A = this chain, B = another copy of it.
Amino acid sequence: MPNRPLDIDTLLRSPLFAAARHATTTSLLARGAMRVFARGSLLFEQNGEPTHLHVVAAGSVGLRAHDETGAGTIIDIFGPGQAFVVPSVMLGLPYPGSGVALTEAAMVLIPAPAFREAVATDPGLNRATVELLSRHWRLMVDQLVDLKLRPAEKRVARFLARRVPEEAEGGPAELPEPRTAIAARLGMTPETLSRALAALEARGLIRLSARRAHVLDRARLLV
């Protein structure tokens, strides 16, 4: 896993650091490191102590949890500019899942104590952290509602719609992750995911290619 030079623009793409004082960001950056992970490799292990905050510079990473029988699922997927796992870092409690690179992924690693110290002393970063934690909770609630109430096709439709900018009518929803990971994130088998994608294409809502679904009508995907 080679290292790459670290530049401040990566951090500033994250809403977390955009809200921090410039001095805070440069100080965290000075203590941070950039690492590149190969597709499929492990960033950290479930139940491990959170030593670093991970900020995605490029690529896609997942939080993969397993239960006591060893069965696993993908809890969430994070893309460029997103920081994870903030709640574990803030609590200093073990990771609820393993971090896995779903594509080749470049990550900025910031030591957990330095991040906690910065949250305690920088009011802007503090507010942004509270907001990020609140939004993460919201997204988890959405996932629970999805799993409990919505059929597979609707879950897939909403997942694709969220990969297109909110203001756009449509556009490409990139799907660089393995289909098994996307299926696990959506709480279905890869076969069910394939059937749902085919059904959405048959209804004229998307056009499929290898690593992308071209969304033709974002609004109708959300109905």
Contact = CB atoms under 8 A, between A and B. Distances in A.
Interface residues of A, number: 45
Contacts of A145: 65, 67, 73, 75, 96
Contact of A65 (B65, B97, B141): B141
Counting every copy of the chain, the complex holds: 2
Contacts of A129: 130
A149 B67 contact: yes
Give the interface SS of chain A, mostly helix, strand, loop or mixed. Answer: helix
Interface string A177-199: 00000001001000000000000
A33 B134 CA distance: 25
B90 A134 contact: yes
A87 B147 CA distance: 21
Given A119-B130, A147-B187, 11 more contacts: A65-B144, A67-B150, A73-B144, A87-B133, A87-B135, A90-B131, A96-B145, A97-B141, A126-B126, A126-B130, A140-B144
